[in-house]
Structure 1
Amino acid sequence: MTEMQTLKIQFLEYLEIERGRSLKTVKNYKQYLTRFFEYSKIKQPKDITDDSVRKFRLWLNRQPGVEGETLKKRTQNYYLIALRSFLKYLARREINSLPPERIELAKVPERGLDLISTEELMRLLSAPNESDLKSLRDRAILELLFSTGLRVSELCSLPRDLDISKDEFSVRGKGEKVRVVFLSLEAKQAIKTYLNKRTDMDD
């Protein structure tokens, strides 16, 4: 195993254990760094230079993305963020390499908020006709998502014994961060109606 491979593994373990990053984030960082090392043929930390990063950025910028377009600037930045984080790790260990502040991210346009109107929201919430268990479930899901702002993955991870008698509950989200979300009366009622109709729930 080469020196860079060893350092990469140690860095990924550091992200997972000491920084508390999710396994998905660690997997992505591994992919980004591996691509940089394979392209740049880096053998030692000191081989990471302004020139090697510039050439990699130029190569990234010419890679095809979806539908024949080049790789988006935002996606290119993911690679640079991973590399900068790796360089910060090397600096913490006092390993000679390129200073992390030398990595500048590409400028990307601000993301616009794609908001829906009140009328569109009401049509969405009223789409389930509540005539059967499936539509009651769908209504409960929509009300819960709208009320709490949960991600779909967070909603799917909610425990079966979630206490909806209160107006709030804690959820562990992205980056293992815990936050409090709030239940509206409509969401609580939709959930109760759905659960009361289920016949497979434990007493």
Structure 2
Amino acid sequence: MKTLKEHSLEFLEYCEIEKGLSQLTIRNYAFYLQRFLDYLKENNKEDLTPEKLSAKNIWDFRVYLSRYQNPVLKKGLKRNSQSYFLIALRVLLKYLARNDIKTLSADKIELPKKEARQIKFLSEDQVDKILNAPKADNISGLRDKAILETLFSTGLRVAELIALNTDQINFSSREIGVVGKGNKPRVVFLSDNAVMALQRYLNKRKDKEKALFVNYRGKIPEAGERRLSTRSVERLIKKYVLQAGIPISATPHTMRHSFATDLLMQGADLRSVQELLGHSNIATTQIYTHVTNKQLKDVHQAFHSGNKR
């Protein structure tokens, strides 16, 4: 019989070919499952088959995750991080069950109680400082300004941002059609400032690259892709946060949080923000209740008769 390792490889191929999942999602599944396979190997169980997998094996792995210490950082795994490994295992077991391979039920894997998620976002003043930090006297500065304005105007994930091509932008309708997580298409919208920044950047460009945001550092290849990487966008965000003197360790996702927070503070409803962010489930968008709760408190303070006596 095939081992769990062999079935895991087939599962990853299934995710790519049949499910059409993104390479990032597949890499994540591979990483989380490999940790479980490494754990089995360390405990002389690398030949474990799906049929022999028991609830005790899963429990012991949960104990292992709970006690795991990163050898470099000397830190353990947060509960939410532990959940990712168990979720990957559950998905693998569901795949096996669908293929009539006898194994432990996925329902037997319980997830740790989630930690309250803390949302990091920027105030309106802090956003203004970051957006105005790039110097628009060269092509790199114009590109960085366009990136920052686009992130704050659209709430795009960094992977969605760097995947953009120049022909995706419709300046007349001020829209961009993107394909997000799970190959889910949606439309995002450009503010006046974002349109202006993008036009100034594109007007300055002389290359024929299809990528919207390209790399201008180091040796520029004569031909081939010059698309900006995720890491490059992360670095430029940190750079302008420091330049703006903002005491927050911000990331591209901080801009996404700031986009959603800004909309809600201006009166947008949670369902509309869900659509703009590309969340499949409204529960994901409810992490922004720090804003809606404040609005409800203000409504209560302004209109409840008990506050007017």
TM-score by length of 1: 0.88
Distance change in 2, residues 1:182/1:105 (3 Å): same
Paired residue total: 202
In structure 2, the gaps of 5 or more residues are 210-309
Give the match for residue 64 of structure 2.
59
Give the match for residue 54 of structure 2.
49
Give the match for residue 23 of structure 1.
23
Secondary structure of 1:181's aligned partner = strand
Q: Distance in 2 between matches of 1:88 and 1:175?
A: 18
Q: Distance in 2 between matches of 1:47 and 1:6?
A: 14
Q: Distance in 1 between matches of 2:208 and 2:34?
A: 47
Q: Distance in 1 between matches of 2:95 and 2:208?
A: 49
Distance change in 2, residues 1:31/1:192 (3 Å): closer
Give the match for residue 35 of structure 2.
35
* AA aligned opposite 1:5: K
Give the match for residue 105 of structure 1.
111
* AA aligned opposite 1:11: F
Q: Do the aligned partners of 2:80 and 2:115 also contact (CA within 8 Å) in 1? A: no
Alpha-carbon distance, 1:201 to partner: 5.7
Alpha-carbon distance, 1:46 to partner: 1.8
* AA aligned opposite 1:95: I
Q: Residue by residue, what CA displacement relative to the aligned partner does 1:108-132 show, whole Å, maximum 9, x if unpaired?
A: 2121221211111111111124233
Q: Residue by residue, what CA displacement relative to the aligned partner does 1:113-164 show, whole Å, maximum 9, x if unpaired?
A: 2121111111111112423333222221111111111122322221133332
* AA aligned opposite 1:137: R
Task: Return the match for 1:79 from 79, 85, 89.
Answer: 85
Task: Return the match for 1:178 from 172, 176, 185.
Answer: 185
* AA aligned opposite 1:17: I
Q: Distance in 1 between matches of 2:188 and 2:103?
A: 43
Task: Return the match for 2:146 from 140, 144, 149.
Answer: 140
Distance change in 2, residues 1:155/1:27 (3 Å): closer
Task: Return the match for 1:127 from 105, 109, 133.
Answer: 133
Q: Distance in 2 between matches of 1:156 and 1:99?
A: 39
Q: Distance in 2 between matches of 1:105 and 1:126?
A: 43
Distance change in 2, residues 1:81/1:185 (3 Å): same
Query: Structure 1 segments of 4 or more deviating over 4 A?
Result: none
Percent identity of equivalent pairs: 45
Task: Return the match for 2:199 from 182, 188, 192.
Answer: 192
Distance change in 2, residues 1:83/1:119 (3 Å): same
Q: Distance in 2 between matches of 1:181 and 1:105?
A: 34
Q: Distance in 2 between matches of 1:186 and 1:27?
A: 36
Q: Which moved more, 1:94-103 or 1:22-31?
A: 22-31
Give the match for residue 278 of structure 2.
none
Q: Residue by residue, what CA displacement relative to the aligned partner does 1:32-68 show, whole Å, maximum 9, x if unpaired?
A: 2233234231522121111111111111211113621
Distance change in 2, residues 1:135/1:28 (3 Å): closer
Give the match for residue 297 of structure 2.
none
Secondary structure of 2:177's aligned partner = strand
In structure 1, the gaps of 5 or more residues are none
Cα root mean square deviation, aligned: 2.1
* AA aligned opposite 1:105: L
* AA aligned opposite 2:190: L
Distance change in 2, residues 1:134/1:77 (3 Å): same
Q: Do the aligned partners of 2:67 and 2:76 also contact (CA within 8 Å) in 1? A: yes
* AA aligned opposite 1:30: A
Task: Return the match for 1:165 from 167, 172, 180.
Answer: 172
Distance change in 2, residues 1:76/1:169 (3 Å): same
Secondary structure of 2:170's aligned partner = coil
